[in-house]
Amino acid sequence: MRILGCIFDLDGVIVDTAKYHYLAWKRLADQLGIHFTTEDNERLKGVSRMDSLEIILEIGQLNLSSDQKNEYATLKNEWYVNFISRMTPDEILKGSRELLQELRAAGIRTAIGSASRNTPMILERVGILDLFDAVADGNKVSKAKPDPEVFIKAAELIGIDPVDCIVFEDAIAGIQAALNAGMFCIGVGSANVLAEAHFVVKGLNEVNLEKLRTIEKDFRS
């Protein structure tokens, strides 16, 4: 592969919004009398809003009508939006800005590949919209990760062949989506949780372009 495009998941990779998703879902679970742990929360990462609610209801063995589900998903999103509308540029995760700047200076195209429909608001709040050549988000795709649609869409938007793209992901479903797209995948988080990725780092502050090239080359050999 040639590293020509880098596609970043948003929540938990570029910005620390995973905690806000968790807090909002936790509040909803409490309200529904469902015991919901941080471990359960791993299953929600990268998963669409409605699918996340389904997982929580499954944990609590609760059946709801589709109207009720819509109502609760909307309520969770209101709480979540309340958090993110107050985000500031400090909440960009360490190393993200530097890596994006370095990649762009080297002529590598950058994109977001996220299930979140709140992507535009978050990028705007933290002031990094201009660091991406394209944004593929939950407003543009219909199939949730682990389906590769969002990453294929991102590659298409930046005009790069999927085999020349690296994906950065903090979610198990997202790593599977990247692999399903035929892309090289770097997990961001815990190596135990993200074992399916080609390589795992704790944060984007651990990588730069030279390191990416080494990781990719070592993997091939």
CA 142/CA 136 separation, integer angstroms:
11
Q: Give yes or no: 11 in active site.
A: yes
To ligand G6P, the closest distance from the beta carbon of 41 in angstroms equals: 8
- Helix, strand, coil: what percent of the chain each, to 5? 50, 15, 40
Asked if residue 115 lies in contact with residue 47, where contact means CB atoms within 8 angstroms, the answer is yes
Asked if residue 214 lies in contact with residue 23, where contact means CB atoms within 8 angstroms, the answer is no
Taking Cα atoms as reference points, which of 25, 20, 67, 18 lies closest to residue 45? 18
- Return the number of the residue (131 or 177) whose C-beta is nearest ligand G6P: 177
DSSP class per residue in 147-207: STHHHHHHHHHHT--GGGEEEEESSHHHHHHHHHTT-EEEEES-TTTTTTSSEEESSGGG-
- Return the number of the residue (87 or 171) whose C-beta is nearest Mg ion: 171
Asked if residue 122 lies in contact with residue 116, where contact means CB atoms within 8 angstroms, the answer is yes
Q: What angle do CA 77, 80, 81 make, to 5 degrees?
A: 85
Q: Is 115 in the site for ligand G6P (CB under 6 A)?
A: yes
State which residue has the least CB distance to Mg ion.
Answer: 12
Q: Is 176 in the site for ligand G6P (CB under 6 A)?
A: no
- Return the number of the residue (41 or 110) whose C-beta is nearest ligand G6P: 41
Q: Which position among 47, 152, 160, 165 is part of the footprint of ligand G6P (CB under 6 A)?
A: 47
Q: Cα 201 to chain center, whole Å?
A: 15
Contact map string, positions 180 to 219, toward ligand G6P, x by CB under 6 A: ----------------------------------------
To ligand G6P, the closest distance from the beta carbon of 171 in angstroms equals: 6
Q: Is 148 in the site for ligand G6P (CB under 6 A)?
A: no
Q: Is 49 in the site for ligand G6P (CB under 6 A)?
A: yes
CA 22/CA 11 separation, integer angstroms:
11
Q: Which position among 128, 171, 179, 185 is part of the footprint of Mg ion (CB under 5 A)?
A: 171
Q: Is 11 in the site for ligand G6P (CB under 6 A)?
A: yes
User: Among all residues, which ones are annotated catalytic?
Assistant: 9, 11
Contacting positions for ligand G6P (CB under 6 A): 11, 21, 44-49, 52, 77, 114-118, 138, 171
Contacting positions for Mg ion (CB under 5 A): 9, 11-12, 170-171
